[in-house]
């Protein structure tokens, strides 16, 4: 398994600003993922972040709005840009297990409120 | 369309009672199957997984799940629920040939003392 930490745990931001969320894994992993969980909803995949390549975004999510960095095998960031109240959500990162395992391990999430 | 369904949005059980949470999927080939629990204000914790083999899998915290191919189901069970089990439970599927999770809508469990 992997232990994942996220910073910040929560934030309240003004509309029009940007927030960068950091995700740290305690071991080297190939694949990391970013999800959005809107209030009372399930998780929606934003993008897949592989080290050394551009992130792959899901339908409805674009790089200009959610730029992602993956500088090494233990770290990734997600930026929520030009925020609006509709971006208020929990943002979670996850890492896929090693050795061909498909299970993902999740961070505690970042609760974002945009006013 | 391919989907993962958790028919029960809310379930309330008394402490000590048995529990079954339902999960159905609609994919052609048998996918990889997972159950996660999310406690309030927390991330998701993996309870158990099914890849192949024995269709009854044991997980953490006394949970088990049974894969039934004929019903395209992967229901989560626990014989005796504890108050600390109150949380949101998500079924997740990785369709064959992919690596991405498809999550169900979740079931919120309330436990009565």
| Chain centroid offset of residue B36 CA | 6
Give pLDDT, residue B95. Answer: 87
Give pLDDT, residue B3. Answer: 86
Contacts of B99 in chain A (CB under 8 A): 31, 48, 96, 102
Output B86 or A1, whichever has higher pLDDT: B86
Spatial separation of the C-alpha atoms in residues A109 and B27, rounded to whole Å: 29
Spatial separation of the C-alpha atoms in residues A60 and B19, rounded to whole Å: 36
Interface contact A104-B104, CB threshold 8 A: no
Give pLDDT, residue B11. Answer: 97
Give pLDDT, residue A69. Answer: 94
What torsion, rounded to 10 degrees, do the Cα atoms B78, B80, B85, B90 define?
20
Residue A13 has pLDDT above 70, yes or no: yes
**Dihedral class, residue B62 (left if φ above 0, else alpha if ψ from -120 to 50, else beta):** left
Spatial separation of the C-alpha atoms in residues A77 and A95, rounded to whole Å: 13
Spatial separation of the C-alpha atoms in residues B20 and B80, rounded to whole Å: 10
Q: Is the Cα torsion angle B80, B84, B86, B92 positive or negative in sign?
A: negative
A55-74 mean pLDDT? 95
Give pLDDT, residue B1. Answer: 63
Positions in chain B whose pLDDT score sits under 70: 1
Substitution target from A6, A23, A104, A111 for chain B, most B beta carbons within 10 A:
A104
DSSP structure class, residue A97: P
- Pairing of β B10-14 and β B107-112: parallel
- Pairing of β B19-21 and β A110-114: unpaired
Q: Residues in chain B, how many?
A: 113
Place of tokens 């969320």: A21
Contacts of B103 in chain A (CB under 8 A): 42-44
């Amino acid at each position: 398994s992997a232990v994942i930490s996220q910073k910040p745990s929560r934030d309240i931001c003004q509309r029009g600003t940007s927030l960068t969320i950091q995700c740290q894994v305690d071991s080297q992993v190939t694949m990391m993922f970013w999800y959005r969980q809107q209030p009372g909803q399930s998780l929606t995949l934003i993008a897949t972040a592989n080290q050394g390549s551009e992130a792959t975004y899901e339908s409805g999510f674009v790089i200009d709005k959610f730029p992602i960095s993956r500088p090494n095998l233990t770290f990734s960031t997600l930026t929520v840009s030009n925020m609006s109240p509709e971006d208020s959500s929990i943002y979670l990162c996850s890492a896929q297990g090693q050795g061909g395992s498909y299970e993902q391990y999740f961070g505690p999430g970042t609760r974002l409120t945009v006013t | 369309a391919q989907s993962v369904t958790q028919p029960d949005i809310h379930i309330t059980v008394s402490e000590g009672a048995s529990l079954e949470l339902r999960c159905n999927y609609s994919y052609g080939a048998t996918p990889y199957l997972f159950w996660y629990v999310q406690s309030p204000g927390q991330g998701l914790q993996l309870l158990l997984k099914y890849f192949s083999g024995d269709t009854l899998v044991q997980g953490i915290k006394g949970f088990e799940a049974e894969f039934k191919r004929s019903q395209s189901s992967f229901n989560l069970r626990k014989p005796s629920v504890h108050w600390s089990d109150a949380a949101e439970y998500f079924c997740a599927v990785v369709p064959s040939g992919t690596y991405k999770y498809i999550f169900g809508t979740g079931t919120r469990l309330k436990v009565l003392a």
